[in-house]
Structure 1
Amino acid sequence: MQFKHIIGQEAVKQRLMATVRDNRVSHAQLFLGPEGSGSLALAVAYAQYLSCEDKQDRDSCSVCSSCRKYEKLVHPDLHFSYPFFAKDKNDTALSFIEQWREAFLANPYLNLDLWRGYLDAENKQANINIAECHQIIKKLSFKPFESAYKVLILWLPEYLEKEGNSLLKIIEEPQPNTLFLLVAQNQDQILNTILSRTQLVKIPALAYDDIKLDLMENHHQTELAASEIAYLSNGNMTEALAMLKQSDKGFHALFVQWLRLCYGNKGSEIMAFVDQAAKLGRENQKNFLRYGISFIRECCLLMAGAGSLVHLPPQELDTAQKMTGVMNTAMAQAISAELEKAHYHVERNANPKILFLDVSLQIVKVLNFKTLPLGTHYIPN
């Protein structure tokens, strides 16, 4: 994995390469970034750059022996640890290394749900068990085999429970030229004893323009389609790639149609919409609701006078500006809350007809009767 194959994050890339050039490589680092930010891919690219035999100014060479092995994740000095669904108490990450390589090479913006799909998870809970901790200690007790550094990339240390304390000594006093790269999403869920022993590398969510450009250049999306997906993904490339697999149902047109029906309290037409929404399928329903939440948020920005922060194509921006004439901030917040609750219930397999009918009625209350869903507080025109 080379840095150039990772979307955006130019400032982080430059900072990581500078630590290698200046010989300031900390032996234990925590790559902390939200899902879909590319933090795991950055950790692999960093390890490859560190081990490259012919480092370039802006990236690893990709042709030396070390780089070729890194590209296939088979370098003898590169080790991975990650949550898995153990069938036996003696299972370790090595038991699933082939699935791991397949999953990462297929999608470097891996999340736990995608990883689950490569394993026989059944109803088991993912974790990093004590057997894996002992395996880590054993692997890292040896000197590097080929490269200057032996590297362990530990993905999602949030799944290390109290067993993770067994790693403290080797993290604090590792063998020479041993590098720990922890890749996490939630700092609060990491053991404090481990957190205090690492150097933090903060990785932001991806920029809207970076996702849009990648979708157009590498996934052959039109500018309009790329704009909508980038907008919906909210900086999460994992979500953006998942949306590519979903059929395009014209979320903007459908959402605006829904609001207009609710504004006019068109009973029979609302029922027709409910039938249409119920047939979208679970993933498209989630994307549709996510679009609605994002669109209402942009309306709120317009009403707050923060138009410079709005990311909408011209047609959608025109619609949003018109929407601000028929609702105020309190109404927009009430609608957004209903959409968020609906998204939560769709994820949990709620009956779509009942769900979309209920949400429609709540939006009718807000837009047509100008009352909050509780029905007790009237909003002034």
Structure 2
Amino acid sequence: MAYQALYRVWRPQNFQQVVGQKIVTQTLKNSITTDQISHAYLFAGPRGTGKTSCAKIFAKAINCLDSQDGEPCNHCENCVAINENRLTDIIEIDAASNNGVDEIRDIRDKVKYPPTQAKYKVYIIDEVHMLSTGAFNALLKTLEEPPAHVVFILATTEIQKVPATIISRTQRFNFRRISADDIAEQLIHILTEKNISYDDQAIAVISRAADGGMRDALSILDQVLSFGNDHVSLENALEVTGDADDQSLAHYLSAIFNQNVTEALQTINTLFADGCSANRLIEGIIELLRDLLLQKNDAQLLTQMSYRQLDADLITAAAQIQSAQLYQMIDLTNEIQLQLKNSAHSELFLEVMTVKLANVAKTAAPVSEGAAANQAEVEKLQTQVAELKQQLSKLENHGVAVSPRTTMPKASTPVHKTDVKINRQQVYHVLENATKESLTAVRDVWPDLLSKLTPAKRAMMKVSQPVAASADAIVVAFTYEFTLRTATTDQDLQDALKQELNALMQNEADIILVQKDQWPKIRKEYIATLRQGKTEKPTTQATPPAELAQPTIVAEATKLFGDKIVKVEAN
């Protein structure tokens, strides 16, 4: 028998074998066990995530003669016929090559005929977004009210190109990118079944290069096996994927941070000579810069998000680099990556990028001077706080009779405020009109939206999620304050989010950014204003009457410690 590619041999034959789509498969199984079969389904998601496989399994399960818990038995007459592609009641159509009105009219004429052998006649239309406008229009009425014995399953990788009139007539399922861990687990299972040895680092390289697609991962694994005589080695995996190993990338960035441009250029030229892809090289650099940024702000986050281990020498070299410089380096490498798409001289661009990155690293403020200045400022503020605590103690013991001359000393240098200012009026407006349906719709397309961002911006948005939505705006909450601050100042990111979200949702909704820890407090404040019967949300505190004005020391103490702690008693 002729050799078959791994992605064909290991194509799932039941829902349990589908990798990384548990929510979708469980929902489909439940609809089968409860006999709630819809007339039309829409499977949307990135390539290689199991859309067509799930469509075939579903078609097999609803026609299985001995289905158990929504799973096909794969042994009955119908299951065997479907597995061998000889059951005429299961019709697969490639919309990329059959996208005209005549093909859809032919389907419309044939759906009225009952199935010859199976219970349901199933039409699986792959890449449905390729249909012409006329073909979509011809499909509308049939898709809305097909005969009881017909089920349509539409699959697409570009949901934004499917008309809303088609989407509204189907049950939509969003297939998400498969995590690198799930891909690695499946690859190890396959290699174990085939008794093939492998290197753990090679599996990690293949999983990252697959970019969330199981089919891509199996295709890469096929190439590595052919290249390496039935052994999956790190060297062969890097050769096939065009990736650079973590050690070389760490050595490159260490040279950048130390302003050793010559050594960095030699490293980049060596990687090119070894066959590394320019695009994969830049993606690896961006990922390492992102990991350093997260490690510098929250070291635990790297472990929680299952990112790769950072080299100790690289962490040491990056100690003198500030977070703002890492942001600038990520923007620079992302810009170079965009320029590579229109250039045949990738090596030249990367050499220029190397020099620019070294110049960014050169602007680092000396650690000793910065640390000394910060320590002096901290000590001064601690002294001021101690003095204010003493004054507050006197205030509590003697009321307002304390000398008002002592006021909060002014710092010699402005203190940086880290909190991001939130426009509560905008948030209140969203909450006034928010609906559960709008939030569900936004969360359904959120993974698709993130997949369209650049790697750097996608990494930043991984720690965010929509928390409220109305027809004209959504609120997105960030887990970490430093990522919120970066996103707030990144106008390109906000423009990309709005553009992609509007394209997916087909509206003109605005995006409001908040911090996750502040979100419950904001909602509580909004609910409180509603209970008080206010028609307008307060923006500033009312000015007290002149006769109730407080002494300066009381105002300063209240400003520092809050009005819940400070208690003023008259003599």
- TM-score w.r.t. the length of structure 2 is 0.52
What pairs up with 1:248-259 in 2 under 5 angstroms?
A: 248-249=237-238, 250-259=244-253
* Percentage of identical aligned residues: 21
Amino acid at match of 1:270: A
**Which among 139, 159, 167 is matched to residue 130 of structure 2?**
159
Output aligned runs, 1:105-184, within 5 Å.
128-163=99-134, 164-184=136-156
Cα 1:62–1:322 shift into 2, 3 Å: farther
Q: Which residue of 2 aligns with 1:290?
A: 283
1:82 partner letter: D
1:240 corresponds to: 217
Instruction: Give the one of 169, 182, 189 matched to 1:210.
Output: 182
1:309 Cα offset (Å): 3.2
Equivalence for 2:38: 26
Shift of 1:366: 2.1
Query: Per the alignment, in what secondary structure is the counterpart of residue 201 of structure 1?
Result: strand
| Structure label with greater radius of gyration | 2
- Check 1:358–1:167 CA distance in 2 against 1; reply closer, same or farther (3 A cut): same
Given that residues 158 and 186 in structure 1 are in contact (C-alpha distance below 8 angstroms), is that contact kept between their aligned partners in structure 2?
A: yes
Residue 258 (structure 2) pairs with residue 264 (structure 1): yes
1:145-177 Cα offsets, whole Å, 9 max, x none, are 211111111222222231211100110111222
Q: Kindly tell me: are residues 289 and 218 of structure 1, through their superposed partners in 2, closer, same or farther at Cα, counting changes over 3 Å?
A: farther
Task: Give the CA deviation at 1:207.
Answer: 2.9
236 and 171 in structure 1: CA distance in 2 versus 1, 3 angstrom threshold: same
Write the distance in 2 (CA, Å) between the matches of 1:18 and 1:280: 51
CA distance in 2, matches of 1:253, 1:183: 41
Note if contact 1:295-1:320 (Cα within 8 Å) is conserved in structure 2. Answer: no
1:301 aligns with 2:313: no
Residue 200 of structure 1, CA deviation: 1.5
Q: Which moved more, 1:22-31 or 1:244-253?
A: 244-253
Equivalent-residue separation in structure 2 for 1:267 and 1:321 (angstroms):
19
Identify the residue that residue 526 of structure 2 maps to in structure 1: none
Aligned to 1:310: 305
Q: Cα offset for 1:342? A: 4.1
Does the aligned pair in 1 maintain the 2:96–2:131 contact within 8 Å? no
- Report matched runs for 1:300-379 at 5 Å: 300-305=293-298, 306-314=301-309, 316=310, 318=312, 321-322=315-316, 325-346=319-340, 350-370=344-364
Structure 1, residues 335-363: CA drift from partner, whole Å, max 9, x if none? Answer: 33333344445555632221221221222
Residue 65 (structure 1) aligned with residue 77 (structure 2)? yes
Residue ranges of structure 2 left out of the alignment (5+ in a row) = 1-12, 225-235, 239-243, 366-373, 375-571
In the TM superposition, what whole-angstrom CA distance separates every residue of 1:246-268 from its partner, at most 9, and x where no partner exists? 64335211211221222233343
Distance in 2, matches of 1:40 and 1:308, equals 34
Equivalence for 1:374: none
> Which residue of 2 is the match for residue 123 of structure 1?
none
Residues in 2 aligned to 1:239 and 1:343: alpha-carbon distance in whole angstroms: 22
Give the Cα separation in 2 of the matches to 1:11 and 1:224: 30
Aligned pairs, number:
330
- Partner residue in 2 for 1:79: 91
Compared with structure 1, are the counterparts of its residues 292 and 242 closer, same or farther at alpha carbon in structure 2 (3 Å cutoff)?
A: farther
- Indicate conservation of the 8 Å contact 1:298/1:320, yes or no: no
Amino acid in structure 1 at the alignment position of 2:72: S
- Are 2:254 and 2:313, in contact at CA under 8 Å, matched by a contact in 1? no
Question: Do the aligned residues in 2 keep the contact of 1:301 with 1:310 (CA within 8 Å)?
Answer: no
Q: In the alignment, does 2:161 pair up with 1:189?
A: yes
Residues 181-237 of structure 1 show CA distances to partners (whole Å, capped at 9, x for unaligned) of: 111233322111111111112222223321110121214543322233334544332
Paired residue secondary structure (1:290): helix
Ranked by relative contact order (alpha carbons within 8 Å, sequence separation 6 or more), the top structure is 1
Structure-2 change in CA distance of 1:312 and 1:236 (3 Å): same
Secondary structure, aligned partner of 1:153: strand
Corresponding residue for residue 10 of structure 1: 22
Rounded Cα–Cα distance in structure 1 between residues aligned with 2:290 and 2:215:
22
- Contact 1:232/1:294, CA 8 A, preserved across alignment: no
* Counterpart Cα distance in 1 of 2:284 and 2:107: 43
Question: In the alignment, which residue of structure 2 is the partner of 1:113?
Answer: none
**Equivalent residues of 1:31, 1:200 under 8 A apart:** yes
CA distance in 2, matches of 1:151, 1:308: 45
Query: Do structure 1's residue 275 and structure 2's residue 272 form an aligned pair?
Result: no
Change (3 A) 1:82 1:366: farther
Shift of 1:313: 4.1
For 1:177 and 1:199, the matched residues in 2 are separated by 17
Unmatched 5+ stretches in structure 1: 86-91, 93-127, 372-380
| Alpha-carbon shift at residue 319 of structure 1 (Å) | 6.2
Cα deviation 1:13-64 (Å, max 9, x = unaligned): 2211110110111111111223332222212211111111211236211122
Determine the C-alpha separation between the residues in 2 that align with 1:39 and 1:155: 9
TM-fit CA distance, 1:83: 3.7
Local SS of the residue matching 2:52: helix
Alpha-carbon RMSD across the aligned residues, in angstroms, is: 2.9
CA distance in 2: counterparts of 1:319 and 1:139, whole angstroms: 67
Paired position in structure 2 for 1:37: 49
Alpha carbons of 1:324 and 1:186: their partners in 2 closer, same or farther (altered >3 Å)? Answer: farther
Is residue 259–residue 358 contact of structure 2 (8 Å, CA) maintained in 1? yes
Give the 3 Å change call, closer, same or farther, for CA 208–4 of structure 1 in structure 2: same
Distance 1:307 1:256, change over 3 A: closer
Alignment TM-score, normalising by the size of structure 1: 0.76
Change over 3 Å in CA distance of 1:76–1:253 after alignment to 2:
same
Instruction: Return closer, same or farther for 1:307/1:175 CA change in 2, 3 Å cut-off.
Output: same
Which piece of structure 1 moves more, 35-44 or 271-280? 271-280
- Which of 206, 223, 228 is matched with 2:205 structurally? 228
- Relative to structure 1, the CA distance from residue 318 to residue 81 in structure 2 (aligned partners, 3 Å threshold; closer, same or farther) is farther
